[in-house]
A and B are shown apart, each in its own frame.
Chain A
Amino acid sequence: MTLKPQETQQIAEYFFGKKCLLIDPSSTTRLTIRKMLTGFKVENSDIYNAENFKVAETFIHEHKPHYIFTTYKIKEKNALDLLPLHLKIQPNRIEAGFYILSDENNISAGNALLDNDIDGLFTLPFTIDALVNSLLKSISQKLQPTPYTTSIEKGREYYFLADVSKAKVKFEEAIKLDPAPFSAYSFLGTLHRELKNIPEAKDCFKKALSFKDDHYKSLRHLAEICLELGEYEESYQLNSKILDNYPFNPERIPELTRLSITTKRYEDILNYLKIFTDLKELGNELVTKFISAGLAICGRYLFTRRDPPDQVRGLDALRQSAKLCRGKKEILKSIVKTLIEAQKADEAKKILEQYATEDTNGNDFIFMQIEILDSFSKDPLPILNLGQPLVISKYENSKLYEIMIKRSIEAKRKKAGIEGIINQAIILFPDEKEKYEKILATLDQTLT
């Protein structure tokens, strides 16, 4: 990109005195970013390096850098975790920016840009020209802010500083400064949503969309609000509009699959099974986690339908989900629950034995075993042996206490022992006090 002398001057003036922080644990990209910034007349002494998350965090607190350029992953940490701090320390975003350098160069990586308050995403490997070009595009509105953008940015500044009323005034002011104030309406909507003024929030997002019908943030917020309000069809249509214009975000697999089920779009579920198979081949760890959750949801839906071919598909989806979930407790729990409810305890047992990992161990895992055993075993003793340590550790699941009381009575345990379990259940679940007190009152009779 060739700049006119006047533009070069303007950029140099903009970056004059700004501190920049480069975070790249492998150091490879730092030299090029530094070269780009010194090309914009940032003083070499105003460019700092941080090799890890902790150093970066301390530096942001102490030196308040205006611009941050960071790799997406900072060793085991995620760079986006530094963003709230930077927004708080440098709330005036006309004078500041946050950029991510990412190895993930698929189109869906763009969701990181759309969903967060970051200013740009540089994909690796890059050319310096592409880097310069992207940075210049991203700062173009900051170089010569109009009264409209200044007003919005001032509102955002107050918002980041948690001064909601002043932020609201600025966004309302901005609405009058532009013939198509979709951003002002969208920010105002976000503010109302946080204040739980849902009808006002909805109205603002709708107004934003009347000026720009594919405005991402407004579509996302509105789709979420509709989902929360139980307006599922509306939410489905808004999500459909998002997918017409923006890449698919794998993080949204559980939400979208649930939405398809709620709006009774059976074909979607079959399509998801095909999509998940394609996505699985990518071998991306994060995507795999969401596919596993999606398969569990689709599997549960199909498995509980009466149609035999659907039950076969559903069981297969549940098995695949278990295989991909890497022992994740919540997913395994949901699969086991589905299978037990469908009286397939043998299948639940198989899945738990095969796919539980060290992550699954602990009380939840033991409870899943108890549920499985309880669904088919006539012998109460193995269940009581497994359940007793959970009762001692005050495991908070009322189903456990129901099983333990029922099985203790079957095993004709001593009355005092059973009373102990019931009394603990009363303390842990005061809402169900009445139910447990009834069992306690009739215990003598039950045991004879």
Chain B
Amino acid sequence: MTDELITTKIFSSDLKPLKHAVLFKNDTSGTSVSDPSKILLREFLPTGFVIEMPIHSCKKGHLVTLFILEEPVNVKFSSSFDSETVHKKVKNAIEVVGKIEDVVTNDDPQRENVTVHFNQYDEVRWKELVDTYIRIQEAMNEFMEQKKL
């Protein structure tokens, strides 16, 4: 038995989710998605990712520049944002240049699932980011282990 207070064992960090937002610039069409809340990061690929985003943002083969930002993002961007502005406004933004590999319809008619393949990116930072998410899954797996009979 212990005299320790239970409140010394409650950590608000346990409830803090890890989330990243994406800023999307279509270099082929000259358009952009500057509101990061409109893009959801769904799956990591070895050199790319799958994102869910508003329709008509891009087509297969388009060249794009993306900025991955750690949430919460408390700054706003104009639709004509550029690399310098992003890095100035947000620390540690990960910039990648890629090509749209696939665009698949979503059940929500206003959204599309877009696969981006990266051509230029910082491999170390990308791996670090993916590993952070893998560690969360591993923590969940540990709870799963606890349920073993």
Q: Using a CB–CB distance below 8 Å, which chain A residues touch chain B?
A: 25-29, 31-32, 51, 103-110, 113-114, 119-128, 130, 133-134, 137-138, 141, 148-149, 152-153, 183-184, 215-216, 236-237, 239-240, 243-244, 246-248, 250, 256, 259-260, 265, 267-268, 271-272, 275, 278-279, 282, 284, 287
Complex-state Cα separation, A122 to B7, whole angstroms: 29
Q: Are A152 and B149 interface neighbours, CB within 8 A?
A: yes
Decide yes or no whether B78 CB sits under 8 A from chain A: no
Decide yes or no whether B73 CB sits under 8 A from chain A: no
Q: Are B7 and A183 interface neighbours, CB within 8 A?
A: no
Q: Which residue of A106, A183, A215 is within 8 Å of B14 (Cβ)?
A: A106
Complex-state Cα separation, A247 to B11, whole angstroms: 8
Complex-state Cα separation, A250 to B106, whole angstroms: 33
Q: Are A271 and B44 interface neighbours, CB within 8 A?
A: no
Residues of A within 8 Å of B19, CB to CB, are 105
Q: Are A124 and B42 interface neighbours, CB within 8 A?
A: yes
* Chain A binding surface SS class: helix
Chain B, 129-149, CB within 8 A of any chain A CB: 130, 133-134, 136-141, 143-149
- Known A-B contacts: A107-B15, A124-B43, A130-B134. Give 11 more (CB < 8 A): A107-B139, A123-B133, A123-B136, A127-B44, A127-B130, A134-B140, A137-B144, A240-B9, A260-B7, A265-B6, A275-B10
Chain B, 94-149, CB within 8 A of any chain A CB: 104-108, 111, 113, 130, 133-134, 136-141, 143-149
CB distance from B138 to the nearest CB of A (A): 8
User: Can you name the residue of chain A whose Cβ is closest to the Cβ of B52?
Assistant: A28
CB distance from A167 to the nearest CB of B (A): 15
CB distance from B45 to the nearest CB of A (A): 8
Whether A25 contacts B107 in the complex (CB less than 8 A), given A123-B140, A127-B43, comes out as yes
Whether A106 contacts B16 in the complex (CB less than 8 A), given A243-B6, A267-B7, comes out as yes
Residues of B within 8 Å of A271, CB to CB, are 5, 7-8, 10
CB distance from B99 to the nearest CB of A (A): 19
Residues of B within 8 Å of A27, CB to CB, are 105-108, 113
User: Can you name the residue of chain B whose Cβ is closest to the Cβ of A183?
Assistant: B149
Q: Are A279 and B15 interface neighbours, CB within 8 A?
A: yes
Residues of A within 8 Å of B106, CB to CB, are 26-28
16 contacts between A and B (CB under 8 A): A26-B108, A27-B106, A32-B50, A107-B139, A113-B147, A121-B140, A124-B43, A125-B43, A126-B137, A134-B137, A134-B140, A152-B149, A183-B148, A267-B5, A279-B12, A282-B12
Q: Are B7 and A26 interface neighbours, CB within 8 A?
A: no
Residues of B within 8 Å of A153, CB to CB, are 149
CB distance from B93 to the nearest CB of A (A): 17
Whether A236 contacts B6 in the complex (CB less than 8 A), given A105-B18, A123-B140, comes out as yes
Whether A278 contacts B12 in the complex (CB less than 8 A), given A27-B106, A130-B137, A216-B146, comes out as yes
Complex-state Cα separation, A250 to B14, whole angstroms: 10
Q: Which residue of B7, B15, B49, B141 is within 8 Å of A284 (Cβ)?
A: B15
Whether A256 contacts B6 in the complex (CB less than 8 A), given A106-B16, A122-B137, A137-B145, comes out as yes
User: Can you name the residue of chain B whose Cβ is closest to the Cβ of A137?
Assistant: B141
Q: Which residue of B2, B6, B141 is within 8 Å of A134 (Cβ)?
A: B141
CB distance from A159 to the nearest CB of B (A): 14
Complex-state Cα separation, A28 to B104, whole angstroms: 9
Complex-state Cα separation, A347 to B2, whole angstroms: 40
Q: Are A268 and B43 interface neighbours, CB within 8 A?
A: no
Q: Are B1 and A243 interface neighbours, CB within 8 A?
A: no
Q: Are B14 and A247 interface neighbours, CB within 8 A?
A: yes
CB distance from A292 to the nearest CB of B (A): 15
Chain B, 10-36, CB within 8 A of any chain A CB: 10-19
User: Can you name the residue of chain A whose Cβ is closest to the Cβ of B41?
Assistant: A125
Q: Are A123 and B2 interface neighbours, CB within 8 A?
A: no
Q: Are A26 and B111 interface neighbours, CB within 8 A?
A: yes
Whether A126 contacts B133 in the complex (CB less than 8 A), given A110-B140, A278-B12, comes out as yes
Whether A248 contacts B10 in the complex (CB less than 8 A), given A125-B43, A134-B137, comes out as yes
Complex-state Cα separation, A109 to B145, whole angstroms: 15
Whether A268 contacts B133 in the complex (CB less than 8 A), given A28-B113, A247-B14, A275-B12, comes out as no
Decide yes or no whether B4 CB sits under 8 A from chain A: yes
Complex-state Cα separation, A126 to B141, whole angstroms: 13
CB distance from B92 to the nearest CB of A (A): 18
Q: Are B42 and A113 interface neighbours, CB within 8 A?
A: no
Q: Are A114 and B17 interface neighbours, CB within 8 A?
A: no
User: Can you name the residue of chain A whose Cβ is closest to the Cβ of B49?
Assistant: A125
Complex-state Cα separation, A271 to B11, whole angstroms: 11
Complex-state Cα separation, A165 to B84, whole angstroms: 70
Residues of A within 8 Å of B10, CB to CB, are 243, 248, 271, 275
Residues of A within 8 Å of B17, CB to CB, are 103-106, 109
Q: Are B2 and A109 interface neighbours, CB within 8 A?
A: no
CB distance from A370 to the nearest CB of B (A): 38
Q: Are A108 and B15 interface neighbours, CB within 8 A?
A: yes
User: Can you name the residue of chain B whose Cβ is closest to the Cβ of A257?
Assistant: B7
Residues of A within 8 Å of B147, CB to CB, are 113-114, 216
Q: Are B44 and A119 interface neighbours, CB within 8 A?
A: no
Residues of A within 8 Å of B42, CB to CB, are 28-29, 124-125
Residues of A within 8 Å of B9, CB to CB, are 240, 243-244, 248
CB distance from A226 to the nearest CB of B (A): 13
Residues of B within 8 Å of A110, CB to CB, are 139-140, 143
Complex-state Cα separation, A244 to B5, whole angstroms: 11
User: Can you name the residue of chain A whose Cβ is closest to the Cβ of B137?
Assistant: A130
Complex-state Cα separation, A267 to B13, whole angstroms: 21
